[in-house]
Amino acid sequence: MLLRGINHVATLTNDSARLRDFYQAVFDAEVPSDGPEVGSNEAVRLTIIKVGEFAELNVFEIDGNTEADRQVPMFGRGRLDHFALEAASLEAFDVVRSRLLERGACGEFVTDFGPVLSLFFRDPDGLEGEVTVQNPDAVPGIFHPPGTPAPRYVPRT
């Protein structure tokens, strides 16, 4: 394979500071750059949010651009539907899940896809994201469809 993964995903926002604060608070993201994209042109702000060793969100806030307001159901959002972030460990997944739940950015449900566990969330702009982690309970060769609850996250009654 010639690639290591995704370098960045570019997205639009109407509030760079709010989005930056969300990703820092939930994912311990770093923000190496935040300011005008070109020189002193304040009409286009670029915030780079590092969400992994070599993965980042390039967030553009453009005066007068309303595309960030447009959120429609899954697979109807245009060319970028959602993005997935890989948790460093099951413990990190649990921390992120807790932080997302505290902010009302996700529900309790965790999907068991077999090899990976998955949790969907919405960021403050309404963009759908997913957090995945290798499933420690996976059985090799077994895959589950969307909607399969992860047993370790099903509330005990």
What are φ and ψ of residue 132, in 5° steps? -120, 160
pLDDT bracket for residue 16 (50, 70, 90): very high
**Are both 119 and 59 inside the same structural domain?**
no
Closest CA relative to residue 43, chosen from 16, 71, 79, 19: 16
**Are both 43 and 92 inside the same structural domain?**
no
Q: What is the pLDDT of residue 146?
A: 87
Q: In what order do the strands lie in the sheet with 111-112?
A: 83-86, 128-134, 116-122, 111-112
* Tens-digit pLDDT profile for residues 25-73: 999 999 998 887 766 778 889 899 999 988 999 898 989 888 877 776 7
Contacts of 94 (CB under 8 A, 6+ apart): none
**Is residue 154 in some structural domain?**
yes
**Are both 50 and 90 inside the same structural domain?**
no
**First and final CA of the chain: distance in angstroms?**
46
**Are both 96 and 154 inside the same structural domain?**
yes
Q: How many domains does the chain have?
A: 2
Closest CA relative to residue 99, chosen from 10, 27, 21: 27
Give me the domain span that covers residue 85.
81-157
Closest CA relative to residue 85, chosen from 32, 6, 4: 6
CATH number reported for the structural domain that contains residue 103 in this entry: 3.10.180.10
Q: What is the pLDDT of residue 2?
A: 59
Q: What is the pLDDT of residue 138?
A: 95
**Is residue 13 in some structural domain?**
yes
**Is residue 116 in some structural domain?**
yes
Q: Which two tokens stand for residue 93?
A: 């997944």
Q: Is the pTM of this model over 0.85?
A: no
* Tens-digit pLDDT profile for residues 102-154: 999 999 999 999 999 999 999 998 888 899 999 999 999 999 988 899 999 98
**Are both 25 and 55 inside the same structural domain?**
yes
